[in-house]
Amino acid sequence: MKTPALCIATLVFFVAGCSKPSANDLFTQAREAQKAQQFPKALQLYANVVREYPQTAVAETSMFAIAAIRQNDTHELTEAVNAYAGYIEKYPDGSYAPVSLFLIGYIYNNELHNLDSAAVAYRRFLAKYPQHEMARSAQFELDHLGKPIDEFLQQQASTERPASTSQASGPSGKRTTRK
């Protein structure tokens, strides 16, 4: 009689030991791998969260983390754009959707130098998020697409340069007359 109870207890212990980790456990492991700069491991763990627990809040954050790692850490820029686009497709109203769309434009403009795709992304951003805190940055990027940074900096310097006067402040802050 003890044999069936022992078998059941062993089976329960075995099944419990083989159960898959929770979404939060996987997410925590992914964050730890990311902090340790173990990016392939972090990407795999984040992907597991998304695949196994797609309806959780950590799945949404995991999708954004995948894109950010591909952009900032592994420098897989095309994959980063695809990951940000995948995030927007899956979570069009998600908390990271505006930033994802802006970053698509940013990568196209500043990293891949694909100005047409950058313009499309920035226009989509401005149409969808005209009041977002990054709207001014998106408009700025759109207005300066393809312009070399040196040209912009020169233009800024010439508009910000004060008019030359015969008086200037000396080291003490007092006005002095130039000779």
State pLDDT tens for residues 36-54: 999 999 999 999 999 999 9
Domain membership of residue 168 (yes or no) is no
User: Please, which contacts does 64-70 make with residues 24 or more away whose CB atoms are closer than 8 Å?
Assistant: 64/94, 64/96, 64/99, 64/100, 65/30, 65/34, 67/100, 67/103, 69/34, 69/39, 69/42, 69/43, 70/43
The DSSP element (H or E) to which 175 belongs, if any, is strand 175-177
Contact 111, 77 (CB under 8 A): yes
**Is 141 within a domain?**
yes
Residue 68 has a pLDDT of 98
**Which region, left, alpha or beta, applies to residue 75 given φ > 0 means left and ψ of -120 to 50 means alpha?**
left
Nearest to 40 by CA among 12, 73, 6, 9: 73
Structural domain includes residue 57: yes
What is the pLDDT confidence band of residue 18, given thresholds at 50, 70 and 90? low
Alpha carbons 107 and 118: distance in angstroms, whole number: 8
Give 157's pLDDT tier (boundaries 50, 70, 90): confident
Which of the pair, 85 or 5, is modelled with greater confidence?
Answer: 85
Q: Is residue 39 part of a domain?
A: yes
CB 44 within 8 A of CB 25: no
Does 4 fall in a domain?
no
C-alpha to C-alpha distance for 123 and 94, rounded to whole angstroms = 19
- Whether residue 159 lies inside any domain: the answer is no
State the burial class of residue 63 (Cβ atoms within 10 Å of its Cβ: 0-12, 13-18, 19+): buried
Given a cut of 50, is residue 142 above it in pLDDT?
Answer: yes
66 shares its domain with 102: no
- One-letter amino acid identity for 58? V
What tokens were used for 42?
Answer: 């972090």
Q: Whole-angstrom Cα distance, residue 160 to residue 23?
A: 52
**Domain range for 48:** 21-76
Are residues 72 and 101 both part of a single domain?
no
Check whether 166 has a pLDDT greater than 80.
Answer: no
**Domains in the chain, number:** 2
Cα distance between residue 152 and residue 144, in whole Å: 8
Mean pLDDT of 146-159: 74
Residue 92, pLDDT > 80, answer yes
Q: Which of 1-15, 102-116, 135-149 ranks highest by mean pLDDT?
A: 102-116
Residue 75 confidence (pLDDT) above 50: yes
